[in-house]
Amino acid sequence: MAAHDLFQAGCRWRVGSGSNIRIWADPWLPRPRSFLPITPAPASLLHTQVSELLNLTGDDWDVEKVHGLFWPMDSEMILSIPLSRVGAPDLVIWHYSHNGIFSVRSAYHLACSLEDRPCSSSVHTSKQSWWRRVWQATIPNKVKVFVWRACTNAIPTGENLSRRIPGTKVECPLYGESKEDRLHIFLLCLFARQVWGLSHLPTSLTSLHIPDFWSWMMAAAAQLDGMDFGFFLCLCWSIWWCRNAKLMQGNSLAPPYVHYFTSTFLAAFRSQALGGTPAAADAVVSPSNWQAPPSGCIKVNFDSATFRTGTELGIGVIARDASGSCVAWLSRRFSRMGSAEAAEILAARDAVYFAVR
């Protein structure tokens, strides 16, 4: 891939005023690889700018308008994007680094992903370490059990049933285009490919040239971090659930909904699971650890939280004087998805604005 094309593939807009960004034509959502909404563009809004999605003051999203225009997975992603309160301009950034600045290393990994091949730095993952990652993943136990059954080939695929019950149809029950084995169900089936196409995971994991199911599983463990690996396993579970719902009950679910359901289901589980751990409890600063500011000064503390629904963030800010008395406070709740890191950034931003005012 040419250097210019690679650079273009990794760039997107960071929303400031939104006046320079077209909603359905310019890359601006944090969704590799298109960076565009999945929701089809209404004919009358093809050239609408992102600024039309902001409120009258331009410092926050118009939540009602966003929910009215976009599918849930798009609207939640849009509402998770923090906006500047000081009129920052729209800016082109490099998506594949934390600071938005281009780096050769991140470009190399992007090039490997776009060419559907693992990077040379990927380490071989043995089955033993692979299973360790599965059991340690922060995902529901029922998903872990399902993964174990799938990896030991103990699920009733068309191929497995035809071996046990002569005359059983071996073709894919959804589209009938191929023999239904594990790799077909979770990767090669048209329905599965549509679901994977909506995810943020590397395209190398959806390559049509992957030889077998286990190679695919091992590649996922080698290329994904803990959070994304758990999401990968949960998405496999969702695909299997949808396949069974169609086969047994005739119910069909759209790929965008499957992706949205998996994201919110996993976010809610992780929020609840992590919320009850000793580590999470230890992270809360107790009053005895708080140090008062010098006399005549005000000290501002802030914190954030992700609610159990997985679709809301909350922040809290408190200002105290030298005696420890509260002189002012602020709390906000956001109806949006977002990572814990994003919540902390929003809390820090609002704490600064709160202190200045």
**Beta strand pairing call for 299-306 and 91-94:** unpaired
How much is the pLDDT for 12? 94
Distance, CA of 343 to CA of 305 (rounded, Å) = 7
Give the bridge partners for 171, in sequence order. Answer: 179
For 157, list phi and psi in degrees, rounded to 5: -75, 165
Q: Are 257 and 191 in contact (CB under 8 A)?
A: no
Task: State pTM to two decimals.
Answer: 0.48
Cα gap 107→270, rounded to integer Å: 31
What does the pLDDT profile of the chain (357 residues) look like in tens digits?
A: 567 788 888 899 999 999 999 999 999 998 877 888 888 888 888 889 999 999 988 888 999 999 999 987 788 889 888 888 777 899 999 998 888 898 888 887 778 766 644 444 443 446 778 888 899 898 999 999 999 999 988 898 888 888 888 877 777 877 776 788 899 899 988 888 888 888 888 777 776 677 888 888 888 888 888 888 999 999 999 999 988 888 888 877 788 888 888 888 888 888 777 664 433 333 333 344 678 889 888 888 888 776 555 556 677 888 888 888 888 887 777 655 555 666 777 778 888 887 877
Residue 94 CA neighbour count, 13 Å, CB half: 15
Model pLDDT, residue 340:
62
The whole-angstrom separation of Cα 165 and Cα 55 is 61
Calculate helix-pair angle for 127-136, 226-249, nearest 10 degrees.
80
Distance CA 36, CA 50 (A): 12
The predicted structure's pLDDT at residue 139: 92
- 326 membership: H or E segment, kind and range: strand 326-334
pLDDT at 4: 77
In the sheet that 299-306 helps form, which strands lie side by side, from edge to edge?
299-306, 313-320, 326-334
